[in-house]
Chains A and B, each alone.
Chain A
Amino acid sequence: MILVFRLAWRELRGMFRGSARGLGVVLACLALGVAVIAGVGTLREATDRGIAQDGRRILGGDLEVDGGSQPLPDSLRGWLAARGARVSDIVRMRSMLIKANGNGSSDDRLLVELKAVDQAWPMVGEAVLVPPGTVAGALANHGLLAERVVLDRLGLKPGDSVRLGNASFTVRGELRVEPDRIATPSILGPRVLIGADTLPSTGLIVPGSMVQHAMRVLDPKGTDPAAFAADLRAAFAGQGWRIRDPGNAAPGVGRFIDQTGQFMTLVGLTALLVGGIGVANGVRAWLEARAGSIAILRCLGASARTVFAVYLVQVLAFSAIGIAIGVVAGSVLPILAGPLLRDVLPVPPVAGIYPAPLALASLFGLLTAFAFSLPALGRAMQIPGASLFRDPTSPTEAKIPREILAATATIAVILAALAVLSSPERVLSGYFCAAAVATLALFELGGWALTAAARAAPHSHLPWLRLGLANLHRPGAPTRLMLVSIGLGLSTLAAVALIQANVRREILDQIPENAPSFFFIDIQQDQLAKFEALLAAQPGVAPAQTVPNLRARVVAVKGVPVERLHVSPETQWALRGDRGLTYAAAMPAGTHLTAGAWWPANYTGKPLISFDAGLAKGWGVGIGDVIRVNVLGRDIDLTIASLRDIAWRSLSINFAMVASPGFLEGAPHGFIATVRVPEAQQARLLRSVTDALPNVTGIRVEDVLQAVAALLDRIATALSATGSLTLLSGALVLVGAVAAGQRRRMRDAVILKTLGASRGQIRAAWLVEFGVIGLAAGAIAALVGSAASYGVVRFVMNTAWVFLPGTLGLTLLLCVTAMLVIGYWGTEAALRAKPASWLRNE
Chain B
Amino acid sequence: MDDLHPATTPHHSPAAEQPVARAAEQPYIRVRDLRLTLPSPAGPVNILRGIDLDVAAGEAVGIVGPSGSGKTSLLMVLAGLERASAGSVRLGGREITGMDEDALARLRRDSVGIVFQAFHLIPTMNALENVAVPMELAGRRDAAARAAEALAAVGLGHRLTHLPGQLSGGEQQRVALARAFAPRPRLLLADEPTGNLDQATGEAVMDLLFDLRAKSGATLLLITHDARLAASCSRRVHIADGRVLADEKVIA
Contact = CB atoms under 8 A, between A and B. Distances in A.
Interface of A: 391, 393-394, 459, 461, 463, 466-467, 470, 474-477, 744, 747-748, 751-761, 835-836, 839-842
Given A475-B124, A755-B109, A836 B82 contact: yes
Contact of A758 (B102, B118, B121, B191): B102
A755 B139 contact: no
B179 interface: yes
A474 B123 CA distance: 9
Interface in B52-84: 72-73, 76, 79, 81-82
A840 B72 contact: yes
Contacts of B192: 841
Contact of A752 (B118, B137, B139): B137
Contacts of B160: none
Interface string B186-221: 000001100100000000000000000000000000
Contact of A839 (B81, B137, B141, B179): B81
A763 to B, nearest CB: 11
B165 A393 contact: yes
Nearest to B144: A459
Going nearest first, the 7 A-B pairs with the smallest beta carbon separation are: A756-B109, A474-B124, A394-B165, A463-B136, A758-B102, A755-B134, A835-B81
Contact of A841 (B107, B114, B117): B117
B79 to A, nearest CB: 7
B138 interface: yes
A751 B73 CA distance: 17
Q: Which of A476, A744, A755, A761 has the most CB of B within 10 A?
A: A755
Contacts of A758: 101-102, 105-106, 137
Contacts of A394: 165-166
A756 B108 contact: yes
Interface in B101-158: 101-102, 105-110, 112, 114, 116-118, 120-125, 129, 133-134, 136-139, 141, 144
Contacts of A756: 105-110, 112, 134, 137-138
Given A394-B166, A756-B105, A835-B81, A841 B138 contact: no
Contacts of A761: 137
Interface band, chain B: 35 or more
Contact of B116 (A461, A475, A744, A841): A841
17 contacts: A391-B165, A393-B165, A461-B139, A463-B133, A463-B136, A747-B122, A754-B108, A756-B109, A756-B110, A757-B105, A758-B105, A759-B101, A759-B105, A835-B82, A839-B116, A841-B72, A841-B195
A467 to B, nearest CB: 8
A755 B108 contact: yes
Contacts of B106: 756, 758
A768 B245 CA distance: 50
Given A758-B137, A835-B76, A839-B116, 13 more contacts: A475-B163, A744-B124, A752-B133, A752-B137, A755-B134, A756-B105, A756-B110, A756-B137, A758-B101, A758-B105, A759-B101, A836-B82, A841-B117
B164 interface: yes
A391 B120 CA distance: 16
B164 A393 contact: yes
Contacts of B122: 747-748, 751-752
Nearest to B180: A755
A563 to B, nearest CB: 71
Contacts of A393: 123, 164-165
A757 B122 CA distance: 14
A758 B163 CA distance: 25
A394 B164 CA distance: 9
A760 B144 CA distance: 22
Given A751-B122, A841-B191, A759 B81 contact: no
Nearest to A462: B139
Contacts of A477: 124
Contacts of B82: 835-836
Nearest to B82: A836
B139 A463 contact: yes
B226 to A, nearest CB: 14
B74 to A, nearest CB: 11
B84 to A, nearest CB: 12
A459 B134 CA distance: 16
Q: Which of B82, B112, B141 has the most CB of A within 10 A?
A: B82
Nearest to A393: B165
A432 B91 CA distance: 66
Nearest to B120: A751
